[in-house]
Structure 1
Amino acid sequence: MTMQEKTVFITGASSGIGKATARLLVKSGHKVALTARSKDKLEALVNELGNENAFAVAADATNFDELKNAVDKTIEHYGKLDAAFANAGKGVSKAGTEEGDPDEWAQMIDININALLWTAKLTLPHLRKSQGHFLLTSSAAGRTSIKGSIYGATKWFAYGFGRNLAEEMKEWKGRCTTICPGMVNTPFFDEDKEDKLQPDDVAEAVLYAINANPRNSVREVYLMPAY
């Protein structure tokens, strides 16, 4: 099957998994629309990837109006949307329910849950037109029980939402993929360890799902370090 060029909208695109995914998609012949809060980082990435391949709009994914503007500008620029990758997310500095910080919880829920919902709501009307693809970053932590992990609970939501959304999108031949990585070597984690996955590993999973034959809905990709 000859690969068809696709336009992909990515949240959390200025660093880590989002940045690696943008690079790999462009290298593989796709176009990307990038959004994150850091305008400077986005502009630098667009310059690296080339204006003909990448377009960016700075936005806070937890702000519905800002995210809507980013999606609208993407449609104005490219004229269509084939895939969206809801990747923006964060953790907390203190684990545990008693020891946790409610303000951190609120911020994390905003980005890990609300921003995911906003991204789906805003992109689905465009994906419906292209019989497109929605992808999201959950976590290995969203597939297992971890003592006192509020972060893991938010990723359980993402995991369940992705499975439900896949059934919803199936009605119009859309596809939904939930990406579930273990620990990834990104600024998300304080420690830099060699035994983590790399952002490029997750980017490869995204590309695999997007490039699959349209008859093949890759519902989930679960990644763990091999050693």
Structure 2
Amino acid sequence: MTKTLFITGASSGIGAATARKASDAGWNVALFARSEDKLKEVAHGCASAMVLPGDATSPADLTEAVERAAHQFGGIDAAFANAGRGLNSSGKGAPDEDDIRGMIDLNILGVLWTVGAVLPELKKTKGTLVMTGSAAGKRHIPGSIYGASKWFVHGYAGNMAEEMREWGGRCTVVAPGMVDTPFFESGKPDKLKPEDVADAVMLAIEADPRASVREVFLMPQSM
């Protein structure tokens, strides 16, 4: 029976690359993000895809999307809580309250709402949950609020791994360094590609059931 992967932040970058990798590996993909047009473009390159426009900071949107995907494909075997963002402001001077709230809502609450929506389906399949962490969530960066939000993701992923193992499920955090996506407008020329992170997600969700891949830490080889 074909397995199904639910992906948030699926319209571009890491999420879109993961959708294509999973599709090539024979998975159904349920694509969730705000931009329906971009999701349709990603779905066009996948063999079996479902477009689910919605906001990852909305529990209602996520619950409806998960229910639709489970009904369409007969269940959900893995979920990738990938939606996230950085701060738009430079971080210098007085913090922008709306900017900070927007990032926290997506990077932290969005992960919590995704897990809350998808966990009942994963329990049915003894499935795998993957979260997008960051190299910034593994080291201390002076004053980085974004980094702190990813420390939360790493801690929560470990907590969920312990909870999910009680019923046969698994949880993985994938922690990439700088990735060549619109997320980084500038920076070093040597970056990871979204496909590198997608490979790590596939490693986690296709690992033998006897093995739980708790974390994958990726860094560019050339610095």
- TM (norm. structure 2) is 0.96
- Residue 151 of structure 1: how far off its partner (Å): 0.2
In structure 2, what residue type is equivalent to 1:38? S
Unaligned 5+ segments in structure 2 are none
Residue matched to 2:211: 216
- From 171, 176, 184, the counterpart of 2:171: 176
Deviation of 1:43 (Å): 1.3
Select the residue among 185, 191, 198 that pairs with 2:193: 198
Q: Tell me how far apart the structure 2 counterparts of residues 183 and 104 of structure 1 sit (CA, whole Å).
A: 21
Aligned partner of 2:105 in structure 1 is 110
2 CA distance for matches of 1:49 and 1:29? 10
**1:38 touches 1:58 (CA, 8 Å); kept in 2?**
yes
| 1:35 and 2:32 aligned | yes
- The one-letter code sitting in structure 1 at the alignment partner of 2:144 is S
Match of 1:19 in 2: 16
Deviations 1:94-141 (A, max 9, x none): 344754211111000011001100010111111001000000001010
CA contact (8 A) 1:10 1:86 kept: yes
Per-residue deviation, 1:93: 2.6
Pair 178,21 (structure 1): closer, same or farther in 2 beyond 3 Å: same
**Equivalent residue in structure 2 for 1:68, among 59, 63, 66:** 63
Aligned-pair CA distance for 1:56? 1.3
CA distance in 1, matches of 2:210, 2:116: 24
SS of the residue corresponding to residue 55 of structure 1 reads strand
Q: Which amino acid aligns with 1:46?
A: A
Give yes or no for contact 1:97–1:148 (8 Å, CA) kept in 2. no
Q: 2:43 & 2:91 partners in 1: Cα distance?
A: 39
State the one-letter code of the partner of 1:62: T
Aligned to 1:90: 85
Q: Work out the CA distance in 1 between the residues paired with 2:61 and 2:180.
A: 29
By how many angstroms is 1:63 displaced?
1.0
TM-score, with length taken from structure 1:
0.94
1:48 deviates by: 2.1
Paired with 2:79 and 2:46, the residues of 1 have a C-alpha distance of 18
Residues 107 and 172 of structure 1: is their aligned pair in 2 closer, same or farther, counting only changes over 3 Å? same
Query: Which stretch of structure 1 is more off in the superposition, 41-50 or 161-170?
Result: 41-50
Q: How many residues align?
A: 222
Q: Aligned equivalents of 2:9 and 2:70: distance in 1?
A: 18
1:146 and 2:141 aligned? yes
Q: Is the 8 A contact 1:33 1:56 kept in 2?
A: yes
Equivalent residue letter for 1:34 = L
Matches of 1:188 and 1:217, distance apart in 2: 29
- Is the contact made by 1:84 and 1:134 (CA closer than 8 Å) also made in structure 2? yes
- What do you get for the CA RMSD once the two structures are aligned? 1.3
Runs of 5+ consecutive residues of structure 1 not aligned to the other structure = none
The one-letter code of the counterpart of 1:90 is R
